[in-house]
Amino acid sequence: MDILDILRAALQQALGPQAIVFALAAIGLNIHFGYTGLLNFGQAGFVAVGAYGLAVSVVTFGAPFWLGIVMSLVAPLVLAVILGVPTLRLRADYLAIVTIAAAEVLRFVFGSVEMKETFGGSNGLNGYARPFQQANPYSSGIDLGIISFGRNDLWSLTVGWILVALCCLLVWALMRSPWGRVLRSIREDEDAVRSLGKNVFAYKMQALALGGVIGGLGGMFLALKQASVVPSDYSTLMTFYAFAALLLGGAARVLGPVVGSVLFWFLIAGLGSFFSQSAGKGGWIPTVIMTDTQASVIRYIVLGLAIMLLMIFRPQGIFGDRREIAIDGR
């Protein structure tokens, strides 16, 4: 067993592109769920339209790269309006079901054979990310001792973490303002807010759209980094992982989703590396108990258990303040 190896794998993921994608998705969810109390189970759908907004405009419709970027911001906005207008008047769990269903419908459509011309089917789309790669100012990668990133990764990470930082700054500025106060009040009791002359529906819509666009940024980043978009990336598991990251870091905290996402991938990759070293040839766990394939599954078992235990014993997350977080509401 090589502890340094485990640490390397864990850090590589915790600072890497996956953590950025899920940090952005979770920041969006934090606005929805943590601050406003909207139970959006379809964040994967927002991430997906962010990614496909870029890829489809450039690849399928031949739009210039900059227009693709604009579309990648507009698409989640449109999705938010389409979903929000009818559902934001419904009960919280209905919103959850509608959003999860909508996200799945989107994924099915993006992956369908019948719409292959537009969305590329299950192989997805590629060949749109060249301008992004060409803009890379670095001439070489970086070696940080334990971990190292190649030239392309370094460029992606720079852009990604800057995006995360900007989003955090925006959330911080918004949530200390009276606007944020209205959102938190809506989370507590919509009718009270209504009775004080605030247009609750409009605020919920703004929150849904903002959180969706930030999720869409995650999709745009993923699309740029991978240089391809594939529908299977955007399954409901993506939403639930983002939720797990948010709960881990603490909902209704500006840095909660970021810390949570980093921690989430640190643990997932660390556990993965630990068990893959422990099982199979040369590991200390006999193959009767755990084979190589089984070793790759065990981290997700732990993940499921962790979500349950967190929610039961520390719904405020690792850093949250229990008095302030409203998940244990109705």
Partner 1 sequence: MRKRLYRVLVALIGALMVLLVGSPVAAQATETPPPDATAIQVTLQDEANKDAQGNPKPIPGVTLEVSKDGKKAGEGVTDDKGVATIVVEELGKYTVTLDEKTLPEGTVLDEDTKDKVTVTVRFQGPNNRAIFPIGVTAGEQSSFVKDFAQNLRAGIVFALVLCLAGLGFSLIFGTTGLSNFAHGEMLTFGAVMALSFDQIFKTGGLASVSVILAGIVAVVLGGLGGYVQDKVLWGPLRRRGTGLIAMMIISIGLAIFLRYLFQYFYGSSTHSLSQYNGQQREQHWYYLGLSLADREAIIVAIAIVTITAVCVWMAKSRMGKAMRAVSDNPALAASSGLRVDGVITNAWVIGGALTALSGVLYAMQLQVNSFMGMRILLVILAAVTLGGLGTIWGALVGSMVIGLVYELGPLFGVPTSIKEIGPLLIMIVILLVRPQGILGRKERLG
Partner 2 sequence: MDADMTDQTNAENNAEKNADMSKTGPAGLVGVSTEPGSKKPDPIVVADNITRTFGGLTAVDVDHVEIQRGAITALIGPNGAGKTTFFNLLTGFDQPNSGSWSLEGKSLKGVAPYKVARLGMVRTFQLTKVLAKLTVIENMRLGATGQKGERFWTAPFKFLWGNQEDEVTKKADELLARFLLDKKREDFAGSLSGGQRKLLEMARALMVDPELVMLDEPMAGVNPALKQSLLGHVKSLRDEGRTVLFVEHDMDMVRDISDWVIVMAQGKIVAEGTPDSVMADQRVIDAYLGAHHDTDLSELDEEALEAEVVAEIEEEEAK
For partner 2, the binding residues (CB under 8 A) are: 170, 173-174, 176-182, 184-185, 187-189, 191-200, 206, 210, 323-326
Q: Residue with structure tokens 């799945």?
A: 104
Q: Is the CB of 73 or the CB of 97 nearer to partner 1?
A: 97
285 binds partner 1 (CB under 8 A): no
From 176-184, 214-222, 242-250, 263-271, give the range in contact with partner 1 by CB under 8 A. 242-250
CB nearer to partner 1: give 105 or 135: 105
Q: Does 129 bind partner 1 (CB under 8 A)?
A: no
When the beta carbons of 64 and 86 are compared against partner 2, the nearer one is 86
With contact defined as beta carbons under 8 Å apart, do 280 and 287 qualify? yes
Q: Which does residue 151 bind out of partner 1, partner 2, none, counting CB within 5 to 8 angstroms by kind?
A: none
CB 30 within 8 A of CB 15: no
Quote the least distance from Cβ 65 to partner 1, whole Å.
Answer: 30
* From partner 2, partner 1, none, interface partner of 176 (C-beta below 5 to 8 A by class): partner 2
CB under 5 to 8 A by kind: which of partner 2, partner 1, none does 196 bind? partner 2
Start-to-end C-alpha separation, the chain: 47
The reply on whether position 292 binds partner 1 by CB under 8 A is: no
What are the respective helix, strand and coil percentages of the chain, to the nearest 5? 70, 0, 25
Region from 17-25, 55-63, 235-243, 264-272 binding partner 1, contact rule CB under 8 A? 235-243
Here the tokens at position 137 are 């100012």
Q: What is the DSSP string of 129-186?
A: -HHHHHT---SS-EE-SS-EE-HHHHHHHHHHHHHHHHHHHHHHHHHTSHHHHHHHHH
> How far is the C-alpha of 326 from the C-alpha of 137, rounded, in Å?
44
Of 102 and 213, nearer to partner 1 (C-beta) is 102
> What is the DSSP annotation of 2-61?
-HHHHHHHHHHHHHSHHHHHHHHHHHHHIIIIIIT------HHHHHHHHHHHHHIIIIIT
User: Which residues of this chain interact with partner 1, rule CB under 8 A?
Assistant: 39, 86-87, 90-94, 96-98, 100-102, 104-105, 108-109, 111-115, 237, 240, 243-244, 247, 293-294, 297-298, 300-301, 303-312, 315, 327-330
